[in-house]
Amino acid sequence: MVKTTALIFGHNKYADEIVANVKDKYEQIRIFSLHEDDVQASETKIEIFDLSDKWTELTKNVDISKSMAFCVLEDTAENIFLTISLRANFKELTIIAVASNSESANKLTMAGANKVIPLVETTSDIIANMLEKPISSKILHSILYEESALKIAQIKINKESHFKDEQLTSIDWTRYNGIIVLSVMHEDMKSEFIYSSKAKHHVIREGDILIVVGYETDIAEFEKKIGSNRYVNWSHWGW
């Protein structure tokens, strides 16, 4: 069912990528910020809200039953409080929230979020690149909007990895069932699709990070097969 309004709470890079992905799927998109400075600095229309809001103004011109809320506040405590408030006031509202780690993900689920997306600092940039490819956009849509167990993971190549010193084009990716490898991220945190003309000739180095999509069990099996481990950097987010 097509939702008529996307309600995005938070004005940051995660919000920007969500807007880019949903702008053609909703009749209207409304972006809310806790900070007055965002209204003045942004060319996009930003509305101010307060965590103590009773949401009476929101219900005047929004059909909550045909809306989806995205809670992307970078402060975890504020994001949890926001989720609790929205759920307490709107039982029928679909709520998607971002989480900095598994602990905050559990809290957001308990707070009433329908879907929780674990994020790392670089995930927004990965999503931006993913949206350039139709198949990747379809996968992302599944992760965001559907009851899917698909996950995005970052696998860091270590010195024992079978992929180390291999050229991307020499690897038979079909050997790794259940895994879609989207891009490779270098030490400078710039990522490239593995099928791009530039990336095809890239030789995998220790420290490179592969961005993959798959189910948890398949990702874990992929880690074992290539001799590398998952990489997570939560430094951008705090509790």
Q: What is the CATH number of the domain that holds 211?
A: 3.30.70.1450
The domain in which residue 28 lies consists of 5-119
Backbone dihedral angles phi then psi of residue 182, each to the nearest 5 degrees: -95, -50
Domain shared by 68 and 126, yes or no = no
The count of C-alpha atoms lying within 13 angstroms of the C-alpha of 210, restricted to the half-sphere facing its C-beta, is 30
Let me know whether 59 and 16 are in one domain.
yes
CA atoms within 13 A on the CB side of 173: 15
- Comparing C-alpha atoms, which of 205, 175, 181 is closest to residue 126? 181
Same domain? 162 vs 106:
no
Report the C-alpha gap between 90 and 65 in whole angstroms. Answer: 9
Mind listing the pLDDT tens digit for each residue in 155-193? Answer: 888 888 888 888 877 887 777 777 877 778 876 656 676
Name the residue with tokens 């095809």: 200
Asked whether residue 127 falls in the same domain as residue 183, the answer is yes
Q: What is the CATH number of the domain that holds 51?
A: 3.40.50.720
pLDDT digits (tens, 9 = 90+) for 184-236: 887 665 667 676 666 667 888 888 888 887 888 888 888 888 888 776 543 33
| Percentage of residues in the chain having pLDDT higher than 90 | 20
Question: In this structure, are residues 144 and 136 in contact, taking their beta carbons and an 8 Å threshold?
Answer: no
